[in-house]
Amino acid sequence: MKVLITNDDGVTSIGLITLAKVFSKEHEVLVVAPESEQSATGHAITVRMPIWVKRVKVLDSFPVYAATGTPADCVKIGVEVLAKGKVDLVLSGINIGHNLGTDVVYSGTVSGALEGALLGIPSIALSAPISENFDFEAAARFILNFVRNFDFNLLEKFCALNVNFPEGEIKGWKATKQSKRRYADKFEERKDPSGNTYYWMYGDIIEDDTDPDADYIVVKSGYVSITPISVFMMHKDVFERLKEVEKREKNKIAW
């Protein structure tokens, strides 16, 4: 297979390079990643300024390109320009830091995979815990074996997989749901040397989802969490209720 690999941590990230090295042993690998960190950029794309792309020297076993754009930009350029549409799989990661619950809304890593899904290519976002001792090579070998055995025909159009690794030894993997894990934001007010006010944002994690299939619960139990996600965010149940309201109200409104 021809595998396009990107991330949001930047082209020199250990997670990205390790993933590319492991996959290059069995597949044709092309790396296109941001030249600098693009964490929490979501699905942003560059539309009002140019995107510079240059090949950089990393390893001889696969080409690596650094781009000034976002992860979504990198996937677009990688697939449509550098690979000329010939990509069989998009991998985004391995990110340093989990992407669980509402993280997927903000994550550049996840958006890299969703961009691949938008282009009709099987795509996987990969994220690891923030840990000095995390074994990226073991995680890369795990996902290589998963790709060998997984039937990507199970994925519907515009659907990608969001994968999160646990700390320590991997017990296996479980199919999971995107949890309600979210943040209670806090803003610390500060002053710059000129006396101007600025704010430093941080927050507390809220983990009150009791579903045993919730992504963060599975990861904490030592399993790899694999969650199917889609680029489309319409809420089906609310849509049906809204249609009922429409039916009841349509004859009451004079346009």
Long-range contacts of 146-149 (CB under 8 A, 24+ apart): 146/173, 147/89
Query: How many angstroms separate the CA atoms of 23 and 206, rounded?
Result: 35
How many residues in the chain? 255
Known binding residue 107? Answer is no
**In the structure encoding, which two tokens stand for residue 44, read together?**
């942003």
28-34 sheet: strands from edge to edge:
53-56, 64-67, 28-34, 2-6, 89-96, 123-128, 159-164, 224-230, 173-175
* Contact (CB, 8 A) for 62 and 29: yes
* Contact (CB, 8 A) for 96 and 130: yes
Known binding residue 9? Answer is yes
Query: How many angstroms separate the CA atoms of 64 and 17, rounded?
Result: 9
Helix (H) or strand (E) holding 239: helix 236-249
Known binding residue 95? Answer is yes
Binding residues for a divalent metal cation: 8-9, 39, 95
Binding residues: 8-9, 39, 95
